[in-house]
Structure 1
Amino acid sequence: MSDTIDIPAGDGTQTFRGYLALPASGRGPGIVLCQEIFGVNAYVREVADLYAQEGYVVLAPDLFWRMEPGVDLGYSPEDWQRAFGFFQKFDIEAGVADVTASVKALRAHPACTGKVGALGFCLGGKLAYLAAAHSGVDAAVGYYGVGIEGALDLVPQIKCPIALHFAELDQFCPPEARAQVLDAFAGKPDAQMYVYPGVDHAFARTGGDHFDKPSTLMAHQRSMALFKDAIGPVYDLSALWDKHCEYEFATRDVVATMATMVSEPYVNHIPTMTGGVGAKELSRFYKHHFIPSTPPDTRLTPISRTVGATQIVDEMLFCFTHTVEIDWLLPGIAPTGKPVEIPLVAIVKFRGDKLYHEHIYWDQASVLVQIGLLDPKGLPVAGAETARKLVDETQPSNTLMPRWEKSTGLTIADPALPLG
């Protein structure tokens, strides 16, 4: 759900264009997305669409319109040269005025529910910082902003929550410049500064030479936490996850299960690498290899639940009798009839009000011990004891440590036991 709209410039006599991405609901809080030096290109539109999936009305204004409307560059050497030329000629004050005009236009748009944040990358990272001081935004997030250290006199003017993401190896924001920014924000309420080790400038640009997925995921989660807290939207993630589990394990309805997820979700059961990526493969997995091969006496006992801005971490006991071949848990293993009890952890990520992905963890060695396929003698593994100790902390600890008895009676002041 995207469109291109006209944005009235601050002087009231001209307009410039902006890419507008809408959430599936059609309404939500606003984000003004400030571009890199390559214009409103495919990557900027991709970011806009991503945040629209998260529930925001996103407006990416064409901030180079005063030099050349419609700049849309790639990353070839020739495009890099053109982009750097635009950067050198860019009027930062006029750019801030255009961001401010975009904030005003977005607030007035019927799809926007009122509050508006600023988000930017590279040049846009600095503009998001400047928007926090000048444009009246309710929150701001900047990725590897270039030149922020030259405008630190504005820090006292920033009253909204702000997060800035830095790359440790970024030559456009070298360590000394980054240190100045971090020092300027030290102790300031609602200011979050993050440095990502071992990554370079533009680490969040998908397909780029410096793209780093772990850092990108962590930065996005932190950005979403700030935006959701400051401007919304608010979803009941617990209820969404509970409904998903109901369709999986109670009603066993594949169509209903998939309806709780984004259009292209994925599931990864980490120990066995089972699941699926994308709607087609995941539907196939659920229909033929998950729902019908989960034992009928399966029981999920909740132990704890942590709800974040974009994800849930669920800790539970997963109990069943191995009466069917369980493709996703014990692929290729004939039923043994043995009871199994294991601790299981699910990390469930959401985009907006839909599940995006699941990472499911359990101790596969414990499963194999309980069905008789792994002899625990002499190995640091256990069977159902791991599940029992999860719910009863008074169960014995350190039973797998042969050296545990040797420390009986020793104190902290005594020398450590020799290795070997």
Structure 2
Amino acid sequence: METRVEKVAVADGSFDLHLWVPEGGHGPVVLLIQEIYGVGPYIRGVAEELAGLGYVVGAPDLFWRIQPGWVSAHDEAGTAESIRVGARFDVPRGVADAAAALSLLRELPEADGRAGIVGFCLGGSVAYLLAASLEADARTDAVLSFYGSAVPDVTGLMERIACPLLLVFGGSDPYISRDRVALVERAAAERPNVEVHVAERAGHAFLNHEAPQFHDPQEAPAVWALALDFLGRHLR
């Protein structure tokens, strides 16, 4: 597996796009959007797993304007500091940065023409907002958003997303209440391209095995298998 860093140029500077290329040398591209912990151990682990399945994965450093290369520990102190850093994140600029990273990914010689977006926590919100902002000629083939806290507040944007969309939430998430998740379920009910999966017993960030305070080892395996199946059906 090849790894390298590409530079994404935008109007006010440039930022790193961490890249993982599968053994076959080409495949569908996946834009992997970070949590507040940065492009750290969990995101890198996900990227390696996806690349092992044949995807060309790019993870942009979306906190580059705040602190380039930000990575924090997944413990209590690291979480608190990450929340403070994340509070300074400019969401519209971050969505625009993610769009620029996706555009670069599509242009790579390793890209086979298909493209997907996967985001966790903060990245789950960015993934959803990015998918809703893309013009018709730049739309992706699949979008997967995990516990994006912004999604319940902007369910009206769902009508702008034409590709297959999977939204995953924990039903016992203290940061995204169950009644807010229900808003997403109702909005998705009449949209055949949208799937909503709620792991009722799980909390926030329950897939992140690097964060024991969040990880749910009972719920995570089945949900991750569901996610990989979704990507496989629509990107491969």
Alignment TM class, shorter chain as reference: over 0.9
Question: In the alignment, what sits opposite 1:229?
Answer: 233
Contact map agreement 2:41 2:210 (CA 8 A) in 1: no
Q: Distance in 1 between matches of 2:77 and 2:218?
A: 30
> What is residue 174 of structure 2 aligned with on the other side?
171
Matched, 1:154 2:157: yes
Structure 1 residue 18: Cα displacement: 1.5
Paired AA for residue 8 in structure 1: A
In percent, how many aligned pairs have the same letter? Answer: 32
**What displacement does 1:220 show?**
2.0
Partner SS state of residue 140, structure 1? strand
Q: Is the 8 A contact 2:19 2:56 kept in 1?
A: yes
Contact 1:103 1:137 in 2 (8 A): no
Q: Which has the higher helix share?
A: 2
> 1:226: Cα distance to partner?
2.0
CA deviations over 1:349-401 (Å, ceiling 9, x no partner):
xxxxxxxxxxxxxxxxxxxxxxxxxxxxxxxxxxxxxxxxxxxxxxxxxxxxx
Structure-2 separation of matches of 1:92 and 1:23: 30
What does 1:290-305 correspond to in 2, within 5 Å?
Answer: none
Q: What does residue range 11-410 of structure 1 map to in structure 2 within 5 Å?
A: 11=11, 14-135=13-134, 136-209=139-212, 210-232=214-236
Find the aligned partners of 2:175 and 2:150 in 1 and give their Cα distance. 8
- Partner Cα separation in structure 2 for residue 185 and residue 230 of structure 1: 18
CA distance in 2, matches of 1:132, 1:203: 23
**TM-score computed with the length of structure 1 as normaliser:** 0.53
TM-superposed CA distance for 1:174, in Å, is: 0.6
Gapped runs of 5+ residues in structure 1?
A: 233-420
The answer on 1:2 being equivalent to 2:6 is no
Q: Distance in 1 between matches of 2:166 and 2:218?
A: 18
Say what the alpha-carbon RMSD is for the aligned residues.
Answer: 1.4
Which has the higher Rg, Structure 1 or Structure 2? 1
Name the SS of the counterpart of 2:219 in structure 1: helix
Q: Which runs of 4+ in 1 moved over 6 A?
A: none
CA deviation profile, 1:275-303 (whole Å, cap 9, x unmatched): xxxxxxxxxxxxxxxxxxxxxxxxxxxxx
Which residue in the other structure is 1:417 paired with?
none
Give the letter aligned to residue 185 of structure 2. Answer: L
Query: With CA pairs under 8 Å and 6+ residues apart, which has the higher RCO, 1 or 2?
Result: 2
- How far apart are the structure 2 equivalents of 1:214 and 1:8? 41
Paired with 1:164 and 1:152, the residues of 2 have a C-alpha distance of 11
Q: Distance in 1 between matches of 2:147 and 2:9?
A: 29
CA distance in 1 between partners of 2:230 and 2:146 (Å): 14
CA shift at 1:214, angstroms? 4.0
Q: Could you tell me whether the CA contact under 8 Å between 1:2 and 1:22 is conserved in 2?
A: yes
Partner Cα distance (1:198, 1:221) in 2: 17
SS in 2 for 1:199: coil
Deviation at 1:37, TM superposition (A): 0.6
Report the residue type matching 1:185 in the other structure.
A
Contact 1:132 1:139 in 2 (8 A): no
- The one-letter code of the counterpart of 2:156 is D
Once the two structures are TM-superposed, the CA of residue 119 in structure 1 deviates from its matched residue by 0.2
Q: 2:234 is paired with a residue of what secondary structure?
A: helix
- Unaligned stretches of 5+ in structure 2? none
Q: Deviations over 1:170-209 (max 9, x none)?
A: 0111111101111111120121100112111111011322
Quote the offset at 1:126 in angstroms: 0.9
Deviation string, structure 1 residues 74-110 (Cα, Å, up to 9, x no partner): 1233322221112211111001101100110000011
Looking at structure 2, the residues matched to 149 and 90 of structure 1 have their Cα atoms a distance apart, in angstroms, of 19
